Every structure is written in structure tokens, then in C-alpha cells.
Amino acid sequence: MAEMVKLFVNGQEVEVESGKNLIDALKVVGIEIPHFCYHPALGADGNCRMCLVGIEDGRPPLVPACKTPAQEGMKVQLDAEHIKKIQRDVLEFELINHPVDCPVCDQAGECALQDYYMSYSLDDSRMRVEQVTKGKKIDFGSGVVHDQERCVLCGRCVRFTRQITHTGELGIVNRTDAARVSIFPGKPLNNRYALNIVDICPVGAMTSSDFRFKQRVWFLQKDPGICHGCSKGCSIYIDHHREKYKDDVIYRFRARTNLKVNGYFICDFGRLSYAAENENRQTTATADGSAIGFDEAIELVRERLDRARKPLMLVSPDLSLEQMWAVKRIATLYGADLSGYSDSYVIDGDGDDYLINDDKAANRKGLELLDIDSSKEQFISTLQYTDLLVNFNNDLFYSGVDEELKAQLDKTQSIAVCSHQLPVFESATIALPTASYSEYGGTIVNEDYVLQRFDKALFKNEDPRDVLEITRLLGGAIIDAPHAWPGIRQSVADLADIDPETIPAEGLNLQNSEDTNVGA
């Protein structure tokens, strides 16, 4: 644990971590200091002056909280009259040329300027001259739309492209009321993390063309989740909403701060992967191309499995540990071979040294931990003599259709337990709809052996059964995710003393000793 210091805020004693700046240190104990330009990932810039606080008997008596480390005995003034006046004045400056766009602005509801105005100002405008008008709806590329009028020139976006992506596409040009955030002529934003700019922008100056006007943010239900876009397993918020007479759908993914895995950001691919959760879903059970009832389909599958001489079960590397375990158990029950073959999920050279990985499978380490063979040789050789393939949502053609494999699959009788309608499942005689990762809870292990738990976020009108439930209906003994754990603990040494209930929100590193498990 870091060293703690005692200081006074508005005369009240609080104990905070030393070394942190006042904004971060006091946030932990629930004291909010308003700020625009400071962001923990981008450091203190000190340009917005919103976080000015008074230090009693201090030299100087007024300091920006973002640049001031918490010190023993410090007497911080937050609600003194002169501090309140500073906050009001800074807001008045920010609002001189700020348009009253709130009704049409996507940021409304999660806008720092709006919130601070309500908490610290509420003054009427004193300006009697025409507002300076600037450019609106400027396409910055990579799905970022800029509105110059709403900008408060905090420079977070500029610092993001310089410090995080090191691409430096943005800059602030000109001064005073002619200052604008801009791209260089003909050089739009071109990096794979650009949409984080929309998240970090404290106001509505940066909006996402993908989310633009789709929904007002106060309608969205924000549930934590884990991105299944690659093996990094970034922490996300799943923002979803059920419109009247409609189904629960996801509107966007946002980065959730997790210093152990992804820090403050996620990649654009992962952010936009929410769309796949809404589209192209397998919603009904089908047999030989025609829709049948789900229970009927389960009966059929059971029958086929009982009849099969040597079935082969293929699990997806995206499944949760519990689901993999459940499939493993029913594979033993039916005397089936088990494979986790998923080479197609690896796209060589796609990853980078930041968050994106070559391997697009969310739980490959889980396959390894549960000792499920994912070699190509084993899968191909088993596929030769098997008379029934049960594919648990494994997209063998993730990186394009493999003709050789397709010919082989077409020859084999197969059953697909699938969440999406994909080319790989076309050859299946029976297809069972199943839940995708936002519709069930479980645990996955990312590429760095960080075990993370996530809960069911979406509740569809017709809730799809998840893989674990389907294995239960096929005769498996595991009734739900918690019931998979005694078995997992017994057979996997690395998970021997894991209780899924006590996995911290930022995950648990399975490989390293305690020191890495202490939150940063």
C-alpha cells in the first residue's frame, strides 16, 4: 500500500494516498474537484483553470489541483467564497461562445460543462455581443465528428494523439476566440484508437459518427462487461436500452478503466464490435433448413448424440471457462472427442504493442487451462472419422472461408450451437440458437493470464439459452456457472483456489504473485 497522508478539505480531515495529485487523491474519498483538461491517462496540463483550489496559509494560496500533490497537513479550501467565484468565472468564460446545443448534443447528460454549470454556476449570460460562430459537424476521420463551437480547448484530444497513439494528427491552431482544434489539411485522424477521443472529450465537441443521434445517454443502461474482440479482454461498459415495444439492444461500448488490463482506453475495433451483438443473430432453432421449436431441437440433438458412434465436440475459444468446462463434461458423457481448434481466430500481424492482439479469441488461455486440445492435427484427424460434429459457436472461418476445411465439413453431419448466422454453420443439419457474450455471465482468462469475471448485461425479450444451459438440457450435470467451479477447481491446478465471487473488478492475475495483484 502506498503511504497515506492526512490533510484537511474545507476544515474536515481526510486520509488520502500521498504522491497523487489532489484531484485523484480526493476522488477516492468522494470529493469531486471540477476539471476539464486533466485526465489521469494524459496527465496534468493546467490550461483550463477549473480545478483551482485554495490552500490555506499556502504559498501560493491558489493552486491548480491537477498539478498539486497531496501533502501532509495541507488545508484545502473548496467551498470558500473566492474559490466558488473562480469556478463561476471560469465557467462564464467557457460559456461565452458556447452554443446552447444541449437539446441536439449527444454529450448532454454526460457533459462536464453541463454538469458543472448546474453545480457551480447557474448564472445567466452577461454577454450582449454576438456569439462567435465556428465550424460544426467537421469530419475528422475514423468516425470522429468535431464541433468547434462546443470545444472548451482543454486539449485532451490533442494530448491523446500525441501521448497515447503517438500519431499527432490533432493540434490547436490560432489563439483566443479564433483557437480551434484541427487536423492538418488532408490528414484526417488515422489510428485504431481514434474513437477514445470521443470518450475523453469532456464536452460534446467530439462525437462519434456511429453513435450520433442514436439515443440520448440518459436512457442507456450502463453495465460493465468484457470485450470479446481479441484476447486482451478489455474492460468495457455495455450501454444498452430497451425501447418500448422493442428488444434490448446495445448502442455502444465504452472503455471502462482497468489499470490491470487496458488502462483507460479500448481500440476502435472492440468499440464497434457491439454492432455484431445486435445483427445477424441466430434466433430460432432449425433442422434441415426449417424452423422448429427449441425443445424439439434439443430432443433431436440428444437423439443424434446417442446414436452417434464417435461424436466430436468443437468449442469456441470465446466461450467462458464455465461453458468450456460444461462442454468438456458432456463430451465425456457422450464419449465424444473434444477440440478447441481455432487457428482462424489468429490474424497474424494485426496486433500492435498497445491493446490490439493478433489473437481474436477472448479465452484462448482458458482452453489451455482446461486442457482442451486445440491443435489442427487432432481436429483434422478426428474430423476424418467422426460421424457427428457438434460445433459450440466456433467460427472456423473467422479469417475467411477455408475451402479445404469447408469440403471436409460439408461431408460431415454436424450440429451447430451458434449465436450468429455465419458461413461456417451453413452446413449444419441442426442449428440451436445460443447467447452471445453480452447475454451470459462467466469468467475468461486473457492473454496475460488475467482472470476476469463478467455478468449478464442484456436481457432479451426471448432470452437465448447460453451454451452452459444447452449442455444441461443435453444431459449435463452442471446447472449454472457457479456449479461449474467445484469441478474446475479440482481439475485445474492454477484455478484451485479461485472463488469466482471474489474476483476483483479489475481481474486477478493467475500467473504472478501477490505484488502484481495490488491495484495500481
Partner 1 sequence: MSIKVRTVERKGRTFLEQLYLVEVIKGMTVTLGHFFRNLLDNSRLYVRHYPEVEPEITARWRGRHRLTRHEDGSVKCVACFMCQTNCPSNCIMIEAGERHDGRSEKMPTRFDIDLLECIYCGYCVEACPMDAIRMDTGIYSVTSYSRDSMVLGLEELLETPGAFDEEEYKKGGG
Show contacts with partner 1 in window 76-105 (CB under 8 A).
101-104
Number of residues written out for the chain: 520
Show contacts with partner 1 in window 287-306 (CB under 8 A).
none
Q: How far is the CB of 213 from partner 1 (least distance, A)?
A: 4
- Which segment (215-223, 433-441, 447-455, 509-517) binds partner 1 by CB under 8 A? 215-223
Q: How far is the CB of 138 from partner 1 (least distance, A)?
A: 12
Q: How far is the CB of 273 from partner 1 (least distance, A)?
A: 23
91-95: long-range contacts (C-beta < 8 A, 24 or more apart)? 91/50, 91/116, 91/117, 91/120, 91/121, 91/123, 92/121, 92/123, 92/125, 92/126, 94/36, 94/152, 95/121, 95/125
Q: How far apart are CA 170 and CA 162, in angstroms?
A: 8
Is 244 an interacting residue with respect to partner 1 (CB under 8 A)?
yes
- Which segment (209-217, 311-319, 454-462, 484-492) binds partner 1 by CB under 8 A? 209-217
Q: How far apart are CA 54 and CA 78, in angstroms?
A: 7
With beta carbons less than 8 A apart as the criterion, state whether 5 and 69 touch: no
| DSSP 8-state symbol, 163 | I
Residue with smaller CB distance to partner 1, 250 or 450? 250
With beta carbons less than 8 A apart as the criterion, state whether 489 and 495 touch: yes
Residue with smaller CB distance to partner 1, 74 or 220? 220
Q: How far apart are CA 74 and CA 110, in angstroms?
A: 32
List Cα–Cα distances, 269 to 40, 96, 326, 330, 364, in angstroms: 23, 37, 30, 34, 19
Show contacts with partner 1 in window 113-172 (CB under 8 A).
136-137
Q: Which of 24, 43, 26 is nearest to 156 (CA)?
A: 43
Is 247 an interacting residue with respect to partner 1 (CB under 8 A)?
no
* DSSP per-residue codes, 98-135: ----GGG-TTTTS-HHHHHIIIII-PPP---SPPPP--
Q: How far is the CB of 261 from partner 1 (least distance, A)?
A: 34
Question: Which residue in the set 243, 296, 303, 455 belongs to the binding site for partner 1 (CB under 8 A)?
Answer: 243
Residue with smaller CB distance to partner 1, 145 or 388? 145
Question: Which residue in the set 219, 280, 293, 516 belongs to the binding site for partner 1 (CB under 8 A)?
Answer: 219
CA angle 407, 410, 415 (to 5 degrees): 140
Question: Which residue in the set 82, 214, 376, 411 belongs to the binding site for partner 1 (CB under 8 A)?
Answer: 214
- Which segment (185-193, 240-248, 338-346, 473-481) binds partner 1 by CB under 8 A? 240-248
Q: How far is the CB of 103 from partner 1 (least distance, A)?
A: 3
Residue with smaller CB distance to partner 1, 71 or 131? 131
Is 213 an interacting residue with respect to partner 1 (CB under 8 A)?
yes
Q: How far is the CB of 137 from partner 1 (least distance, A)?
A: 6
Cis-peptide into 423, omega within 30 deg: no
CB count, 10 Å around CB of 455? 12
Q: Can you read off the three cell numbers belonging to residue 93? A: 468564460
CB count, 10 Å around CB of 217? 17
Q: How far is the CB of 93 from partner 1 (least distance, A)?
A: 25
Q: How far is the CB of 108 from partner 1 (least distance, A)?
A: 8
Interacting residue ranges for partner 1, rule: CB under 8 A: 101-104, 136-137, 212-214, 216, 218-219, 243-245
